[in-house]
Amino acid sequence: MPRTNADTLTFTDFQFDPKLQEGLDAMGFSKPTPIQEKAIPVIMANRDLIGCAQTGTGKTAAYVLPVINKMIRNDHRHLNTLIIVPTRELAQQIDQQIEGFGYFTGVSSIPVYGGGDGATWDQQKRALEHGADIIIATPGRLIALLAGDSVDLSRLQHLILDEADRMLDMGFFEDILKIIGYLPKQRQTLLFSATMPPKIRQLAQRILHEPEEITLALAKPAAGVLQQAYVVYDRQKPELLKHVLKTYPWNSAILFASRKETVKQLDRAFAKSNFPARAFHSDLEQAEREELMRAFKNKQIKLLIGTDVLSRGIDVEGISLVINWDVPPDPEDYVHRIGRTARAETTGTAITFVNEEDQRKFSYIEKLIEREVPKVALPESLGDGPAYQPELKRKSAFRGGGNGRRKFSGKRSR
């Protein structure tokens, strides 16, 4: 459960409709988290909002609850709210939360995302024509449906952009503007983003009206995560991985790699050794991805291998070990990666493999999280690794390309 405020504010203080309060009670939510405490009154007052908060802070409920509450009180029998998200997994998770909160309210939602077969497309199209109060959509699929006249957005009241920075990273800027072209000008717009690079500011300026701004400092990794690093040469990593999987206690783990190609290579290596590991990446069919997530949640798959797409938004309980095959390109992704373990106040371990090129990046991560991660000696059988010299300037420490995301400026300025 995300951190809640120490004072005594409870959800009953928002005086939500009793049907919504019943849903909250059923889901066991009693105290709002800081983002909920700040955002809910703003949204209930019909103001536009920029919320700078990451996954795990309770940001979904922060916008879903007030929006559902308004719908119960108004006549909501038309498409009322559009939530745009970067990935289908996030769309599904938000849909599930709406189903939970809205169970007693009669408010309905449909997730709309790409992938899947022709049947999925027809199903989504029919569901939209039939009508729902809330659509949660990835940009590409929504544009396709809009072009086919399957969605009537003319009476929309709320537009919500979730994980806006990730959407821009994925190249959805133009698509988002295109979608907004279909919406009524008179509406409430809420934008949530983990970071606020200039491109997000630019987007916010274009689509929000005198927004309130709420910023939550980047959550530091949960206290329950034991963090360790091994300083290694690339050629030592496969043996080291075996060692880690054998010697650390775990029953459910994620192995992160920064590149899809590396994920696939690791997947092939595990397949050869019959280890219960599977890779999760964007080349998989939609049905395969869903099946994989289900199997991982049920613990049929013990180890999931994935890129940073997995590090955000995936809400799976009971992951006891996170292994970083490499150091993520953005320090904040490290926090997201290791945040997959030690959720719900449990404990977990996060191990990072740091090669020579990644040392500098790793030292910036240590600055960001304001602590030094212990470097553990390699097992004797592997021989010596490189020395840890992060101050040495190596060419590839910085990620190239100007995608507008914050680079390694060390500590966050908020």
Applying CB under 6 A, which residues contact ligand AMP?
A: 1-2, 4, 29, 31-33, 36, 55-61, 315
Nearer CB in complex with ligand AMP: 95/358:
95
Q: 101 or 353, CB closer to ligand AMP?
A: 101
Tell me the C-alpha distance between 357 and 199, whole Å: 29
Smallest gap from residue 27 Cβ to ligand AMP (A): 7
Judged by beta carbon, residue 57 or residue 307, the one nearer ligand AMP is 57
Q: Which is nearer to ligand AMP, 101 or 173 (CB)?
A: 101
For ligand AMP, the closer of residues 98 and 200 by Cβ is 98
Measured from the CB of residue 57, what is the shortest distance to ligand AMP in angstroms? 5
Q: How far is the CB of 236 from ligand AMP (least distance, A)?
A: 36
By beta-carbon proximity to ligand AMP, the closer residue of 104 and 408 is 104
Q: Which is nearer to ligand AMP, 94 or 263 (CB)?
A: 94
The span from the CA of 20 to the CA of 23, in Å, is 5
Shortest separation between residue 340's beta carbon and ligand AMP, angstroms: 12
- Report the nearest approach of ligand AMP to the CB of residue 115 (Å): 22
Residue with Cβ nearer ligand AMP (61 or 338): 61
Give me the least distance between CB of 5 and ligand AMP, in Å please: 10
Q: Write out the chain in H/E/C secondary structure.
A: CCCCCCCCCCHHHHCCCHHHHHHHHHCCCCCCCHHHHHHHHHHHCCCCEEEECCCCCCHHHHHHHHHHHHHHHCCCCCCCEEEECCCHHHHHHHHHHHHHHCCCCCCCEEEECCCCCHHHHHHHHHHHHHCCCEEEECHHHHHHHHHCCCCCCCCCCEEEECCHHHHHHCCCHHHHHHHHCCCCCCCEEEEEECCCCHHHHHHHHHHCCCCEEEECCCCCCCCCEEEEEEECCHHHHHHHHHHHHHHCCCCCEEEECCCHHHHHHHHHHHHHCCCCEEEECCCCCHHHHHHHHHHHHCCCCCEEEECHHHHCCCCCCCCCEEEECCCCCCHHHHHHHHCCCCCCCCCEEEEEEECCCCHHHHHHHHHHCCCCCCECCCCHHHCCCCCCCCCCCCHHHCCCCCCCCCCCCCCCCC
In angstroms, how far is CA 218 from the centroid of its own chain? 14
- State which residue, 33 or 359, has the beta carbon closest to ligand AMP: 33
- Report whether 116 contacts 149 (CB < 8 A): no
Minimum distance from CB of 64 to ligand AMP (Å)? 8
Nearest approach, Cβ of residue 307 and ligand AMP (Å): 19
Residue 60 Cβ vs ligand AMP, minimum distance, rounded to whole Å: 3
